Amino acid sequence: MAISVEHFSRTYTTATGTVPAVDDLSFQVSAGEIVGLIGPNGAGKTTTLRALAGILRPTSGHVRIDGHDLVAEPIEAKRRLAFMPDEPHLFEYLTVAEHLRLVARLYAVEDFERRSRALLGELELTGKEDSLPAELSRGMRQKVVIACGLVRSATTLLFDEPLTGLDPLGIRRMRETIASRAREGAAILLSSHLLHLVEEVCTRVMIMDRGRKVADGTFDELRARAELAQAGSSLEQIFLRVTGHDIPSGQP
């Protein structure tokens, strides 16, 4: 299993006490699968993705990437991972080409020159190789982050709102890129509020609410569930029903 999460919990300490962000979450993602992670604000999606990326340590539970525990074997696990956050964090003093070069060095990417050239073309960054992040639009910076994630042969791709800041053409290309990586055998976990994207791209969907998993399955499986069947056939309707935000018929 490419991604294996077992009883993962994460709490935050605030001035008022301890707040659970994710509570006893377990799921798996296989190679070639694209799993959509959806949920209302504060559901724990980003916390889950950040824990999977090795940024946050689980308070309890285990996260494994290709069988490597992220806490016990962080280097082996991280080598197989690519995390594309919603907010593009780049080094303000490195150019686009230098970001790719740095990533290639850290992940020991073979045939880096060819791969980066192809990626820059695929993500429409050709001609921007020598630009600093401050000289790029937000969408362009997002593409640089994605290029850094895709330049290596990661077996597990984590996307947090991958379409933020992209133009319509960029969105289309991004969808194709995600699908093609899955076809090549990558396990993909994608968090987004754009339900139509999730519906279109993902093979399975996982719904979180208040730090817990409240639904998990393919669209057909979710539609077939008795209590959700009444909600309707679209993911949006299912999502609203599962999270308790659906509006009963007859009400404005």
Partner 1 sequence: MLGASLYIIGCSARNRVRARLRRLREPRYLIGAIVGAAYLYFSVFARMGRRGRRAGPRGGPSAATLEALRSGAPAAVGLALLAATAVGWLLPFDSGLLDFSQAEVQFLFPAPVSRRSLLVHRMMRSQIGILLGSIIPALMVQSFSGYARLRISIATWLILSTAKIYATGVSLARTRLTSRDARARRVAWLPLTVLGSACAIVAINLLRAFRAAPPDGAREAIVRIGSVVSHGLPRVVLWPFVALAAPLFAPWPGEYLVAMLEAALVMAVCVAWVLASDATFQDAAEEVAARKAQQPGPRAVKYRARATGWDLAPSGRAEVAFAWKAAMQTLRVVDIRSFVRVAAILVLITVSSTAFGRTSGLPAIVGVFALAGAGFAVLMAPQILRVDLRQDLKHLELLKTWPVRASAVVRGEIAWPGGLLTVLAWILIGIALVLSSANFSRVPIGVRLDAAGAAALVAPALVFAQLTIHNGVALMFPAWVPLGSQRARGLDAMGQRIIMLGGTWLLLAIMTLPGALAGAVVWFAFRAIVGPLALIPGAIACVVVLGLEVLAATEALGPLYERMDVLSVERTE
Query: Which two structure tokens, joined as six digits, stand for 242?
Result: 């599962």
Q: What is the Cα–Cα distance from 63 to 47, expressed in whole angstroms? A: 13
Residue 94 DSSP code? S
- Candidates 26, 67, 105, 200; binder of partner 1 (CB under 8 A) is 105
Q: What is the Cα–Cα distance from 210 to 23, expressed in whole angstroms? A: 8
Q: Which helix (H) or strand (E) holds 206?
A: strand 204-209
- Candidates 102, 118, 224, 229; binder of partner 1 (CB under 8 A) is 102
Residue 75 beta carbon to partner 1: minimum distance, rounded to whole angstroms? 5
> Which residues, 6 or more positions from 71, have their beta carbon under 8 angstroms from its beta carbon?
57, 58, 62, 63
With CB under 8 A, what is the number of residues at the site for partner 1? 39
- Candidates 1, 20, 28, 101; binder of partner 1 (CB under 8 A) is 101
Answer yes or no: are the C-beta atoms of 151 and 119 closer than 8 Å: yes
Amino acid found at 99:
H
- 15 is a site residue for partner 1 (CB under 8 A): yes
Binding mask 183-212 for partner 1 (x = CB under 8 A): ------------------------------
Q: What is the Cα–Cα distance from 24 to 178, expressed in whole angstroms? A: 28
- 155 is a site residue for partner 1 (CB under 8 A): no
Stretch that binds partner 1, among 79-87, 195-203, 217-225, 241-249 (CB under 8 A): 79-87
| Tokens 């593009």, residue located | 88
- 118 is a site residue for partner 1 (CB under 8 A): no
- 98 is a site residue for partner 1 (CB under 8 A): yes
Q: What Å distances lie between residue 237 and 38, 70, 207, 214, 244, CA to CA?
A: 13, 35, 12, 15, 11
- Candidates 79, 143, 213, 241; binder of partner 1 (CB under 8 A) is 79
- Candidates 112, 199, 214, 240; binder of partner 1 (CB under 8 A) is 112
- 176 is a site residue for partner 1 (CB under 8 A): no
Residues near partner 1 (CB under 8 A): 12, 15, 50, 53-57, 74-79, 81, 83, 85, 89, 91-95, 98, 101-102, 104-109, 112-113, 130-132, 134-135
